[in-house]
Amino acid sequence: MSVEKQSFGTTKKGEAISLYTVTNKNGMVMKVTDFGAILVSVLVPDKNGVLTDVVLGYDHGEDYQVNPPHFGSTIGRNGNRINGASFMLNGKKIQLTPNENGNNLHSGPDGFEFMMWEAEAKEQAVAFHHHSPDGEQGFPGNFDVTVTYTLTDDNAVEIHYEGISDQDTVANMTNHSYFNLGGHDSGNVYEQTMQLNATTYTPVIDSKSIPTGEIAPVVGTPMDFTQPKAIGKEIDADFEQLQMTGGYDHNFVLDKPKGAFDWMAKAYCEKTGIALEAYTDCPGVQFYAANFVDNEKGKNGAVYDKRHAFCLESQYCPNAVNDTHFAQPFLKAGEKYDTKTVYRFLVK
C-alpha cells in the first residue's frame, strides 16, 4: 500500500488543492482530493488485466469547483431533496437555500463538495476532516465531520462517515460518484446490468422528485431490479414515474433490518468483466442513471452525456426530514454519527 500526494490545482481563494493516490497490492488505484473530499478516480483491472477507470470526473481541481453533476462528491450535511428547502426541528423552522425547483438539493449551492477539507494520509487510506460551524448551509449546530476513504486489498473502496454536533441537527451524508463499469469514457450504460436489494421504492409526486410518502412495491413495474436487469431495458418505458424523472432517479428502500450493514446493489459489465458490489448500513439507495448529464467535458478529453453512468447514493429517504413515513436523519446533540458505504470491485 502506498499513498502519494501531488498538486491538483488551486481554489478561487488561492488555496492549494492536492490529489492523493492510493494503490493496493493488486495494482488497483483510488484517487481522492481534499477539495470537497471528492472521489476522483477508481482504476480497476478488467478481465484482461487492463487498468480501467470506472468513475466519471475531471482532470483538474479547478473543474470540481463548478461540477454541475456532483461527480464523485461528498454530499452533506444532507443528501438528496428537502421539500420547500425547509423543515421543522424541535419546534423551530429551519430554512435552507432553494437550489432546484424551490427545493434544497444536496444541501444547497454551498455543499460540502465545494469546501476545502483537512487531509490526513494513512497507511491505505486518506481521512478528510471538516468543521461545519453552526448555521452553515442553514443547519443548526457545530458539526465536526470526518470522511475516510480506504482502499482495501480485496479491491473495495470503503467510505466511512463520522461526526458529532453540539446541537440537534441533520446528518444524512452520501457519495455522488458516477460509475461506468465499461470505463468512464465508454459511453452509455444501457447494457450493464443492475440488481438492487429492494422490493420497494418511494414514488415521487412529480418532476420535482419529492416522494409522495408511499413505500410502493416494485413488482410488476420497470422499477423491479430484484434480479439482474440491463439498465437500458425499461428505462424509457411508458411508466409515469420514469417519465417524470427522465429515467431512473429514485430512492429504493433496502430489504434489511434497521442499521444492518448489507448489500444494496450489484452491477456488471460483460464487455470488461468488471462487477461492482455495493454495501451500506443506510436504509435506502438513490439509483440515478445520469439522465441530466449533457455534454460534460471530463477526464482525458472524454465527453460525458445522458446515461453514460449510474449513481448508487446510500441515504435516508429524500425529504425524510419532513415525512415521518420514513426513517429519520436527525442526529442528537453529542451523539456520534457513524455510517459506512463500500464499493467492491471484482472480475467475473
Q: What is the dihedral of CA 117, 120, 121, 122, to 10 degrees?
A: -130
**Alpha-carbon distances of 295 from 68, 298, 308, rounded to whole Å:** 11, 9, 11
Name the phi and psi angles at 196, rounded to 5: -120, 140
Give the chain's count of helices (H) and strands (E): 1, 29
Name the phi and psi angles at 345, rounded to 5: -110, 140
User: Alpha-carbon distance 268 to 231, whole Å?
Assistant: 10
Active-site residue set: 176, 313
User: Alpha-carbon distance 23 to 104, whole Å?
Assistant: 37
**CB-CB neighbours of 192 under 10 Å:** 26
| Residue 18 grid cell | 492536492
Which amino acid, 135? G
